Amino acid sequence: MRIFTLILGFALLLAVYNQSPQQPVATRHARKSVAHLVETTIVTRQSLSTRAVYTGTLRARRIARIFTEERGRIIRLPYYEGDAVRKNALLVQLDDALLRAKLDKAIASHKYARINAQRYKKLAKQKIASADELSRALMEQEIARAEEQILRTQLSYTKIKAPFAGIITKRFAEPGDILSANTQVLTLIDPSSLVIDVELSELLLSKLKLKYPVSVSIDALGTKTFQGKISRIYPSIEPNKRLGKIEVTLQPLPKKAREGQFCRITIKRKISPKLTLPYSAIRRDNQGEYVFIVDKNNKARRQTIYIGQRFADKVAILKGLTNGQEVVIKGFLGLHEGKLLQKKGAN
């Protein structure tokens, strides 16, 4: 009886199994081949450009430090810091009373020596004066003339005039001060000669040339951008920092630009066309850098690459890809070699 019951139960289970719907083989295979959704791009050769920002300070290229050439007391010093002066304007006047008195004496001595020399010339013609006496008289005349010229030159040093039109930036003395020779009194700059000194990498320096255009912003003048050009490239490189130096001239110079203001200089540079990819397409592992390309069967294939310089969101491809290849840029989660791909936006 028990054996009969077991046989009956087994027969019922077999009948139920035969009646249940069986999953088709084709359906099971389709699940294994579900396409991986990705976004792709085409490798292209593009013209690229770099953009780098450097800092610098406005500096006056034309500057005059006004020194005394004679000892004396200041009797006139009319200009202060910030004052504008014209060319040849009187900047400093020293007391010249003593030098004028000495000059008057030298003028009289010169006059006497000249008359005396003329007298000896007449006497020499009459054979009354000897040649030596005439030579001595002529020599005394030349000495008197030279002494007069020395005092005239010294007297001219008591008045110091502006060598060019500009602005006084420093004042070191006051009227009544007694100064020795070679003492600085004022500093004068030409505001139209303002330039910007910029330090930059030796690698970039070798790619720049004179009159190369740049854009400049001056923090003190807001967000406005001004146009400039490279007016000088210094020949030496600082050996410790490996930095070179250029000089930038603003064209035109902003009205409110002042010496010492902080500047930001933007240098843009075009580069010859290169194969490029979005930087997001690059994958990395312990074997190096690679991308997933789309093969002719619409499957993912790993491709080792070598990249070059990065330009914003793009990177130059040095080796591993050719123009026109299709590369995955999004959809990397779960992506592997041989995976069937479905491109975003495709049916």
Q: Identify whether 205 is part of a domain.
A: yes
Q: How far is CA 155 from CA 145, 152, 316, in A?
A: 15, 5, 71
Same domain for 166 and 88, yes or no, is yes
With a cut of 70, say whether residue 49 has pLDDT above it.
yes
Listed range (159-163, 261-265, 309-313) with the worst mean pLDDT: 309-313
Same domain for 291 and 327, yes or no, is yes
Same domain for 141 and 285, yes or no, is no
Nearest to 140 by CA among 116, 166, 157: 116
Same domain for 198 and 118, yes or no, is no
Q: What is the CATH number of the domain that holds 76?
A: 2.40.50.100
Q: Which two tokens stand for residue 304?
A: 């080792």
**Predicted pLDDT of residue 30:** 45
Residue 148 has phi, psi (to 5 degrees) of -65, -45
| Cβ count near 129 (within 10 Å) | 17
Q: Identify whether 23 is part of a domain.
A: no
Q: Identify whether 16 is part of a domain.
A: no
pLDDT-derived band at 260 (thresholds 50, 70, 90) equals very high
| Cis peptide leading into residue 175 (ω within 30°) | no
**Do 265 and 55 form a contact (C-beta atoms < 8 A)?**
yes
Q: How far is CA 228 from CA 209, 218, 254, 265, 294, in A?
A: 13, 12, 11, 9, 47
Q: Identify whether 213 is part of a domain.
A: yes
Q: What is the distance between the alpha carbons of residues 52 and 310, in angstroms, rounded to a whole number?
A: 13
Q: Identify whether 198 is part of a domain.
A: yes
Q: What is the distance between the alpha carbons of residues 298 and 116, in angstroms, rounded to a whole number?
A: 117
**Predicted pLDDT of residue 20:** 45
Q: How far is CA 281 from CA 122, 276, 331, 341, 342, in A?
A: 107, 11, 10, 16, 17
Q: Identify whether 1 is part of a domain.
A: no
Q: What is the CATH number of the domain that holds 126?
A: 1.10.287
Q: What is the distance between the alpha carbons of residues 65 and 172, in angstroms, rounded to a whole number?
A: 11
**Predicted pLDDT of residue 309:** 80
Q: Identify whether 24 is part of a domain.
A: no
Same domain for 108 and 254, yes or no, is no
Q: What percent of the chain has pLDDT over 70?
A: 90
pLDDT in tens, 55-100: 999 999 999 999 999 999 999 999 999 999 999 999 999 999 999 9
With a cut of 90, say whether residue 4 has pLDDT above it.
no
pLDDT in tens, 188-203: 999 999 999 999 988 8
Same domain for 100 and 241, yes or no, is no
Same domain for 329 and 260, yes or no, is no
Mean predicted confidence (pLDDT) in 179-196 = 95
Q: What is the distance between the alpha carbons of residues 257 and 314, in angstroms, rounded to a whole number?
A: 37
With a cut of 60, say whether residue 25 has pLDDT above it.
no
pLDDT-derived band at 29 (thresholds 50, 70, 90) equals very low
Q: What is the CATH number of the domain that holds 240?
A: 2.40.30.170
**Do 226 and 254 form a contact (C-beta atoms < 8 A)?**
yes
**Domain total for the chain?**
4
Strand 184-189 relative to strand 63-67: parallel, antiparallel, unpaired?
Answer: antiparallel
Q: What is the CATH number of the domain that holds 295?
A: 2.40.420.20
**Among 138, 157, 176, where does a domain finish?**
157
Same domain for 220 and 304, yes or no, is no
With a cut of 60, say whether residue 139 has pLDDT above it.
yes
Q: pTM of the prediction?
A: 0.64
Helix axes of 131-156 and 97-125: crossing angle, nearest 10 degrees: 160
Mean predicted confidence (pLDDT) in 252-269 = 92
Same domain for 293 and 243, yes or no, is no
Q: Identify whether 10 is part of a domain.
A: no
Residue 87 DSSP class: T
Mean predicted confidence (pLDDT) in 160-188 = 96
Mean pLDDT of the chain: 88
With a cut of 70, say whether residue 342 has pLDDT above it.
yes
Strand 213-218 relative to strand 178-179: parallel, antiparallel, unpaired?
Answer: unpaired
pLDDT-derived band at 311 (thresholds 50, 70, 90) equals confident
Same domain for 84 and 182, yes or no, is yes
Same domain for 216 and 236, yes or no, is yes
Same domain for 176 and 89, yes or no, is yes
Listed range (14-23, 176-185, 218-227) with the worst mean pLDDT: 14-23
271 three-class SS: strand
Q: What is the distance between the alpha carbons of residues 172 and 184, in angstroms, rounded to a whole number?
A: 7
Q: What is the distance between the alpha carbons of residues 297 and 289, in angstroms, rounded to a whole number?
A: 24
**Predicted pLDDT of residue 347:** 45
**What is the domain range of residue 229?**
52-61+192-269
Mean predicted confidence (pLDDT) in 231-255 = 92
**Among 221, 236, 269, where does a domain finish?**
269
With a cut of 50, say whether residue 26 has pLDDT above it.
no
